[in-house]
Structure 1
Amino acid sequence: MAAGSLAAASAILYVMNASWLASAPDSQPQLLAHRGVYQHYNRDGLKNDTCTATRIAKPTHDYLENTLPSMRAAFDAGADAVEIDIHPTTDGDFAVFHDWTVDCRTDGKGVTREHSLAALKALDIGYGYTHDGGKTFPFRGRFKAQMPSLSEVLTAFPDKAFLINIKSNSPRESEKLDAWLREHPEAHPQRLSVFAGERSAQRLAELRPDLKPVSKQALKTCGFTYIALGWSGYVPKACHNTTVYVPQNLTWVMWGYPNRLQERFAKAGSYIYLVGPMKSTNGLPSINTPEDYAKVPKSWRMGVATDSIEVIGPLAKSR
């Protein structure tokens, strides 16, 4: 009787989570280009304050992250959305730039958000890049005044989607972004999503749930709760109306992967991006190689995040 009960329970559990019994969302997979097309760098031993511009590989193209040409190249390569980083400026605007300070990449000094937009746009944002320990600086002098504002980015690509990374954990910054979007309806917020610090994401969820804001902590809460309870078909509240990133090496614990997982989260108003295998290194793990992309199920109809859109874009198109 015990064996029979266990077999029956296993059968029910299997049927409830069988991917082949569910249909994937009626959509096309979306490619998210993390950083656009940019200069790749050595990630060994990275810390939060590591100057990545001084450890790039020998350049094979002329694009720098968070610039309009980089974004255009990403879209041309097949990206459906591009991740960008923003900082508020002292004059009430937002600059698109990665680092907390301008010291590493530019010819300026100081905390990024303690500058006006005009001061930031006067900088040479290619100044600090080197691939040979400072012997040469291949982008120095070539990217003067090329740090864009958020308005310039959204105006340049009016029909494209963006993941905005708020580079702080301050609720006040979410309030600033909300106010900015109210003043700029032409930005079309429905094409935007947001990644932020925990407090910042929570505040933005109150102000603009349509942006599907998410933080690292929210991702952990969603993931762990779904792993514990998702076998029953339950999608926890933390997984509703948000954006979720699922590492390839953890898909086996995501109940119903791939089709039933997509079906459940779509009904909960959420969107899933597959990312690369979770490692101990900093940053978003991405799907960057043909081998990684080959592991994406052909029935996958949600997102794929990549740091190498120039590689993955053509593969996705051919599939």
Structure 2
Amino acid sequence: MKADAFIEILDERALKLIDPEQGFEILAQGFSWTEGPLWLESEQALIFSDIPQNSIFKIDHTGKLSLYLKPSGYTGSTQRGGETGSNALILDQEGHLVLCQHGDRRMARMSASLDDPKPNFETLVDNFEGKRLNSPNDAVYNRHGNLYFTDPPYGLEFGMDDLSKELSFQGVFQMNTDGTLLLLDSLSRPNGIAWSPDEKYLYVANSYPREAVWYRYEQREDGLIHNRTVFFDATEFVGKAGFQGLPDGLKVHSSGVIFATGPGGVWVFDADGTVLARLQTGEATSNCALSTDEKALYLTANSYILKFNLR
């Protein structure tokens, strides 16, 4: 990890959660490209994807690293390149592991328990109106059990130019509990997705260099989202020294504070869009996860897994 990692406090409200003297703890390193961190309270462990390795790894409460699941995102027999593995990992309302599977181009549920994982999967959704999804990237449930996910082309072997791409857009989707799939919006590169604590707002990151933006939607009374607005535009930071990466995964603290990975590391926003702090990792940082007690923030940062303690 680079020596230029540091904590930048931009608003004193950040001090409620962030100790500026706190550093990053390296939990593990040496991976290809890490993503999708998820704290499993029942296992007292962190799991995360290494997308190019088509694997999920686990770090237990003692710090021991082990392979958790392989294959994680591509179960086919034909060799292919690109980002084949799982991306985001979440739990459904019954506590089952749900995976955004790049290689298999679907949202899937693991048909095994968390304490005895096996690469057996049930497809939740793999197409929209008969056309295959691109490669589901990040996902979140709401309190009613509806699944919201983004579908950029990153998991296709040749991205936007892949001949197997069937959809003409990159969607933000809602899958209802009855299996109905709705297209809520399309963006250039939809990525991270998260609800505000009261589920009044849905935040979606867009990972396009010329449109490096976090968007915010309002939820209507019928449960659909509307009124997309720019929550924060980070396009001017893309490509600057020390600002590796793009808007990517994000998590929302129970206080409403948003931890959003983006150029340079983790951007910490108040619910009104004010930048409270930046946790500069010095690495392209893809995603983050909060522990159940919200005292730890786990980061997938390129080849590293990092931990940052919160107040």
Range into which the TM-score falls when normalised by the shorter chain: 0.3 to 0.5
More helix by share: 1
More strand by share: 2
Q: TM-score, normalised by structure 2?
A: 0.35
Q: Which has the greater radius of gyration? A: 1
Higher relative contact order, chain-length normalized (CA < 8 Å, sep 6+): 1
Q: TM-score, normalised by structure 1?
A: 0.34
